[in-house]
A = this chain, B = another copy of it.
Amino acid sequence: MNDTSTIKVGILGFGTVGQGTWKHLEENADFWEKILGVRLIPSRASVRTLDKERKVRIPSDLLTTDSQSIVDDPDIDLLCELIGGIEEAKRLTLQAFSLGKSVVTANKALICEHGEELFQAAEAAGVHYAFEASVAGGIPIIKVLRESLVANEFPLIYGILNGTSNYILTRMENEGASFDSVLDDARELGYVEADEALDLDGVDAAHKAVILAYLAHGLWVDLKDITVEGISKISNEDLNAALKLGCKIKLIGVIRRNFDNNHVSVGVYPALVPMAEIIARTDGVYNGISLTGSVVGTVVLTGRGAGQDPTAGSVISDLVDVVKGIKGISASSKLVHVSPNQCLPAQAIEIEGCYYLRLSVYDKPGQLAKVAECLADHEVSLATVSQSPQGENELASIILTTHQTNEHSIARAIESLEGLDGVRGKPVLFRMFDPNPEKE
């Protein structure tokens, strides 16, 4: 460490995730300094070619095509290895360890192939090697498996570990589009890796499954020894037939442990997953992982499996853990979001939303019209209305849903409704929850 008040971060590989990491470190430098007591400074980055246009622009003297020079730079304290591939990445990582520098990586292929050697080298050098970003992008599966569920043994871990193939299957299913046409779209959107087999043939998912099997069972399974099948033989006919059987076809990684003989099986293949499983209903570029633990039961995590921001977020969270380790800040010490602007409690009255309303009324003509008029008087506008008799008495239920309104208007409307001729008892009111209110 050159200066105890700063940590200089070198970024090997300045693609989408590398740029996202740089941008975030720069934008939130004050925040991290407050939390960690040390300033994280993104200092140098390596690229394949210098003259390419990039979204995140940094001074040209901080860019180099020579990754090795960043690793060797005595000013650089900590490295993010985001170049991918095996040989160069491995050499650079080991070199960093030998210089006493910790490494944060998103390189699942490298860990899958040489994890044991790299972990041992990091341990021997007394440095950290953190790899949350290598599996399932923004889903914090590594930490959950290693730390939160540490009291468990895992008879079953399974899930969707590759967002690209899941995107293709979801569009085939929803639109009846052919595999080839959806694949063309996915290529155009930049969803498919340069080496397409990684996504389509299950290899990327298999890398991740091998890492999860290691974390759960301490066993390195050789990629060559496991079943790895891709999505190319799945037809629209299969997807439809699966739906009729109450299932969806998903490309899943499956890690089972048989506790009778302690055998661990790892496989990646398309399978019919029952609709009752959250994994079956995890669509598009989302990943989902279901962990069945001996103590906790089944825990399921879903989230974006890839992309600049989720993966950069995992890189950052690993960086923070590593810096806490270096600085001796315990994981369970207080760490709370400190907003640049102090948060304030909101007043209930500010809350806007749509509402569901059920009224008991005497079942006579014109009753619905009176109710609707009363709501209109309070500027509550209706989205749906239905009225149905309540069995054998002379009462009917009116069920209404409203457009966006605020709690104040609806409260006054309810008060008026209670006093309305023909309305019996207290109206029942529930909010309609909208997870994306910004759309309105």
Contacts and interface: CB of A to CB of B under 8 A. Distances in A.
Given A156-B435, A250-B433, 15 more contacts: A143-B144, A143-B148, A147-B335, A151-B320, A158-B435, A217-B339, A218-B336, A226-B348, A235-B428, A237-B358, A254-B433, A262-B343, A270-B430, A272-B433, A324-B331
Interface of A: 24, 28, 35, 119, 122-123, 128, 130, 132, 138-140, 143-144, 146-154, 156, 158, 214-219, 221-222, 225-227, 233-235, 237-238, 241-242, 245, 247, 249-250, 252, 254, 256-258, 261-267, 269-274, 277-278, 281, 290, 292-293, 295-304, 307, 309-310, 312-314, 316-318, 320-322, 324-325, 328, 330-339, 341-348, 350-351, 356, 358, 384, 386, 397, 399, 401, 428, 430-435
25 contacts: A128-B333, A130-B332, A138-B296, A139-B299, A140-B148, A143-B143, A143-B147, A143-B148, A150-B317, A151-B313, A151-B316, A154-B337, A158-B433, A215-B337, A218-B338, A235-B358, A249-B430, A265-B350, A273-B433, A277-B435, A278-B278, A297-B309, A298-B303, A300-B300, A322-B332
A149 B313 contact: yes
Contacts of A316: 150-151, 295
A142 to B, nearest CB: 9
Nearest to A294: B309
A136 to B, nearest CB: 10
Contact of A218 (B144, B317, B339, B348): B339
Copies of this chain present in the complex amount to 2
Given A150-B335, A252-B433, A331-B324, A299 B138 contact: yes
A401 B350 CA distance: 55
B337 A216 contact: yes
A258 B119 CA distance: 43
A358 B301 contact: no
Contacts of A331: 147, 321, 324-325, 330-331
Contacts of A336: 146, 214-215, 218
Contact of A345 (B235, B263, B277, B335): B263
Contacts of A343: 217-219, 257, 262-264
Contacts of A320: 147, 150-151
Given A325-B330, A343-B217, A149 B278 contact: no
Contacts of A152: 313
A192 to B, nearest CB: 20
A378 to B, nearest CB: 20
Given A158-B433, A316-B151, A322-B332, A345 B24 contact: no
Contacts of A335: 146-147, 150
B321 A296 contact: no
A242 B400 CA distance: 11
Nearest to A154: B337
A148 B317 contact: yes
A148 B132 contact: yes
Contacts of A151: 24, 28, 312-313, 316-317, 320
Given A148-B317, A219-B345, A339 B272 contact: no
Given A295-B309, A304-B297, A335-B146, A351 B269 contact: no
A344 B218 CA distance: 10
Contact of A321 (B256, B322, B332, B348): B332
A314 B297 CA distance: 12
A296 B272 contact: no
